[in-house]
């Protein structure tokens, strides 16, 4: 039980680690954290430099303001007498003592001759004696001091000397830990703000990941809910980004195509089963009747003729299905040759003329000389025979069927037009689908397989052409075939 729980935890951790949600949020936090860290480091050094400059300025100001309190004219430099209780001016000896400054006065030989707070400040004496700043550790190595050193000069000539002569040094120091304490106090708000900012970054990353990946999650759920029996689900996204919107649109378009393909497959399977069942049922019925009781020779011959008719229909249907299957898979290889369309169509019109006359239909052709196309003669014959046979079947007596040939740019256009009953507009997009019928009994009652127009479409496609249909009820139908001319 414990191992199972541990495995579940490990699987969950592994899923989280591989999750794009987690990676986006983690990346967002890392980017914000790095930006915040860079800013914090920069701000820290800028603040440190500012505090350092402020300390240096204070030290220099303290030296300039304390020099008047030093007697430079009467013996070695030393502080004048002062009263701490009364001397409260800023940067006076009493003020500097109270603030914690270290002040010491050195003679020309570098020895200490006076000072403030120096006894409690074990600062080395071997400092460079020159005007400027230095940072040195105390002798106990517990603290570090920032020291400003400046030379002292006489104000008045003495014993024949000249004013401005060197008489010693003054050093003013400030413990750096006080600077760092001030720096820490200034930096605390930033340190406290860092976890808050990172938390806000995590929330922002989660919101961003939700905005980006939420639609993808819905797409995934929609895809998981789709099966071969239910393709009706679609992705509905409102307010999504342009990229996600295009993805959803593309996915919905794919579902539309899949749904159409599945529906055509189901309809094809049902229609094929129906087309196969009809002649097989007829055959079985005829055989059962013949076996039911003895028959005369003439009756047996009639039964065999009927059975032969149904077998021929089955053979035509199976051949048509085999041809379509090979064309779909690109396995049907036809030799190409130059074909004169005017000669081909003229021959077909002549061949179909007896059938037209038997139905009292006027069949005529209007052909220009040429054009020549590169194609397969037998398949082109089958294409136009299917179109002519279709036109003659559904054109009433005293009707008219016309075949015309024109050249339009680099294409030859062949129109097969009739003035029959026409086809309703809603059926036109589906005419080239396999077994599609405008009326459920139309093909079977006329002896066809329901695959003629589908085969015609595939033949045209094999020739890199195009076939279209236009029709108006009670006015007629026009099938137009566009085939590229031979170069």
Asked whether residue 168 is assigned to any structural domain, the reply reads yes
Asked whether residue 381 is assigned to any structural domain, the reply reads yes
The CA distance from 372 to 344, in Å, is 10
For strand 337-340 and strand 372-375, is the pairing parallel, antiparallel, or unpaired? antiparallel
Min mean pLDDT across 20-29, 84-93, 99-108, 260-269 is at 84-93
Alpha helices by DSSP H, 293-340? 297-329
Residue with tokens 């307010």, as numbered in its chain = 239
pLDDT top residue among 126 and 295: 295
The three-class DSSP label of residue 117 is coil
Asked whether residue 60 is assigned to any structural domain, the reply reads no
DSSP structure string for 177-207: HHHHHHHHHHHHHHHHHHHHHHHHHHHHHHH
Domain of 152 in residue numbering reads as 69-180
Residues 275, 145 within the same domain: no
| CATH label of the domain that carries residue 123 | 3.30.450
Residues 165, 31 within the same domain: no
Q: What is the pLDDT of residues 136-172, one digit of tens each?
A: 887 766 778 888 898 888 655 555 555 567 888 888 8
Task: Check residue 350 and give its pLDDT.
Answer: 92
Q: Say how many domains are in the chain.
A: 4
pTM score of the predicted model:
0.49
390's tokens:
């279709």
The CA distance from 147 to 141, in Å, is 16
Task: Check residue 33 and give its pLDDT.
Answer: 83
Which of 362, 352, 358, 354 lies closest to 389, judged by CA?
352
Under DSSP, the state recorded for 483 is: E
| Ramachandran angles phi, psi of 37, nearest 5° | -65, -45
Residues 308, 247 within the same domain: yes
Task: Check residue 441 and give its pLDDT.
Answer: 45
Q: What is the pLDDT of residues 349-375, one digit of tens each?
A: 999 999 999 999 999 997 867 789 999
Q: What is the pLDDT of residues 35-76, one digit of tens each?
A: 888 888 888 888 888 888 888 888 888 888 888 878 777 777
Which of 30, 17, 21, 12 lies closest to 213, judged by CA?
21
Residues 150, 201 within the same domain: no
Asked whether residue 110 is assigned to any structural domain, the reply reads yes
Beta bridge partners of 14: none
Task: Check residue 173 and give its pLDDT.
Answer: 85
Percent of the chain with pLDDT over 70: 79
The CA distance from 391 to 187, in Å, is 92
Highest-confidence range of 36-45, 74-83, 249-258, 372-381, by mean pLDDT? 372-381
Looking at the predicted structure, is the pLDDT value of residue 416 above 90?
yes
Asked whether residue 229 is assigned to any structural domain, the reply reads no
Asked whether residue 272 is assigned to any structural domain, the reply reads yes
């Amino acid at each position: 039980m414990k191992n199972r729980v541990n495995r579940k935890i490990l699987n969950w951790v592994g899923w989280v680690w591989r999750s794009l949600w987690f990676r986006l949020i983690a990346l967002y936090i890392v980017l914000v954290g790095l930006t915040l860290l860079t800013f914090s480091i920069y701000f820290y050094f800028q603040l440190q430099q500012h505090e350092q400059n402020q300390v240096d300025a204070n030290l220099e100001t303290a030296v300039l303001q304390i020099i008047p309190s030093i007697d430079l004219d009467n013996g070695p430099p030393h502080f004048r007498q002062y009263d701490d209780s009364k001397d409260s001016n800023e940067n006076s000896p009493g003020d500097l003592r109270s603030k914690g400054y270290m002040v010491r006065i050195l003679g020309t030989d570098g020895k200490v001759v006076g000072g403030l707070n120096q006894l409690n400040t074990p600062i080395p004496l071997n400092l460079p004696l020159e005007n400027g700043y230095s940072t040195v550790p105390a002798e106990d190595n517990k603290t570090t001091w920032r020291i400003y050193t400046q030379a002292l000069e006489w104000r008045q000539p003495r014993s024949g000397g000249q004013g401005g002569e060197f008489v010693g040094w003054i050093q003013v120091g400030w413990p750096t830990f006080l600077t760092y304490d001030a720096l820490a106090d200034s930096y605390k708000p930033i340190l406290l703000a860092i976890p808050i900012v990172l938390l806000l970054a995590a929330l922002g990353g989660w919101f961003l990941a939700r905005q980006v990946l939420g639609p993808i999650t819905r797409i995934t759920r929609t895809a998981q809910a789709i099966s071969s029996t239910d393709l009706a689900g679609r992705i509905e996204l409102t307010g999504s980004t342009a990229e996600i919107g295009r993805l959803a649109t593309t996915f919905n378009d794919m579902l539309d195509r899949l749904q159409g393909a599945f529906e055509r497959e189901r309809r094809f399977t049902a229609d094929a089963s129906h087309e196969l069942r009809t002649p097989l049922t007829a055959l079985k019925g005829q055989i059962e009747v013949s076996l039911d009781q003895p028959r005369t020779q003439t009756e047996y011959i009639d039964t065999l003729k009927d059975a032969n008719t149904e077998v021929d229909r089955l053979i035509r249907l199976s051949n048509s299905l085999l041809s379509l299957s090979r064309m779909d898979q690109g396995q049907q290889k036809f030799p190409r040759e130059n074909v004169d369309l005017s000669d081909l169509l003229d021959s077909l019109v002549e061949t179909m003329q007896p059938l037209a006359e038997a139905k009292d239909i006027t069949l005529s052709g209007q052909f220009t000389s040429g054009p020549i196309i590169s194609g397969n003669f037998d398949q082109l014959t089958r294409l136009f025979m299917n179109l002519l046979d279709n036109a003659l079947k559904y054109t009433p007596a005293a009707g008219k069927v016309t075949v015309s040939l024109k050249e339009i740019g680099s294409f030859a256009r062949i129109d097969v037009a009739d003035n029959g009953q026409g086809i309703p507009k809603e059926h036109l997009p589906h005419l080239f689908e396999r077994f599609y019928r405008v009326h459920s009994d139309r093909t079977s009652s006329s002896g066809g397989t329901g695959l003629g127009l589908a085969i015609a479409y595939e033949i045209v496609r094999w020739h890199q052409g195009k076939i279209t249909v236009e029709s108006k009820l009670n006015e007629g139908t026009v099938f137009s075939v566009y085939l590229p001319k031979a170069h």
